Chain A
Amino acid sequence: MIDVPFDPTEELIRIEARITGPLGHADVDLVLDTGASVTLITFDTLDKLGYSARDGDSISVITTAIGRESGYLLRLQELRTLGHAFTDVRVHAHDLAETSGIDGLLGLDVLRHFNYEIRSKEGLIRVGLA
């Protein structure tokens, strides 16, 4: 069991993740989002890591209140977060607003692989190890 801290005064639960790509690895901030079925990473960060739309295996669309945002699905070499590492993990490549202050969403496709307990008042995520 490990405890991963987050700032409970922020609107969102911001956690850190390491993404590995053809050109290196990057530590970025994601929002823990149990309402997202698939993890999402921004185009810009994926581009900088050497991924491109050519690596995508299908087009994806996210429906918003005002329309539909297009992106694509691709497989990351590795995604490391909350003390766990995942290889060949499929994510949405999409844009996020500059003002969001985050680089992606950590969705249930990753979260379902381990147990976790969000202790909101304490600002802790208690994560079970595999």
Chain B
Amino acid sequence: MDTTRMTWEDIKRAYPDEWVLLVDVDADPSIPRVRGGKVAGHSKSRKEVLASTWLPPGSGWALKYTGRPTGADLLPGQGHR
């Protein structure tokens, strides 16, 4: 785990087109909006980053994708509904 707290802009640059799991999250909880945090895990796979990162019960975390989402294949098959 990278113990350095990073801004969201820095995280996007350091881990392009990856899923990142953040802890010690700096967020405005009212909207909410993530401003940064510590990268506890990162992967090209959402399932992998969630499965491989241990989080203590009761903790707050964030799961974010640093790339651009695509609507072409939202569901595991093709098409949306």
Contacts and interface: CB of A to CB of B under 8 A. Distances in A.
B27 A29 contact: no
Bin chain B's interface residue count: 35 or more
Interface string B32-66: 11100000000011110011000101111111110
Interface string A47-85: 110100000000000111111010000000000111100
Q: Which 3 A-B pairs have the closest CB atoms?
A: A65-B79, A101-B69, A27-B62
A84 to B, nearest CB: 10
Given A44-B47, A98-B47, A24 B78 contact: no
21 contacts: A4-B31, A4-B33, A7-B68, A10-B69, A11-B71, A11-B72, A17-B32, A23-B57, A27-B22, A27-B25, A28-B64, A44-B51, A47-B50, A48-B61, A65-B78, A96-B74, A98-B45, A100-B69, A100-B71, A101-B68, A103-B63
Interface in A16-58: 16-18, 23-29, 31, 35-36, 42, 44-45, 47-48, 50
A105 B30 CA distance: 19
A17 B46 CA distance: 17
Interface of B: 22, 25, 27, 29-34, 44-47, 50-51, 55, 57-65, 67-81
A28 B63 contact: yes
Contacts of B27: 18, 27
Most buried by A among B32, B58, B65, B72: B32
B78 A80 contact: no
A14 interface: yes
B32 A26 contact: no
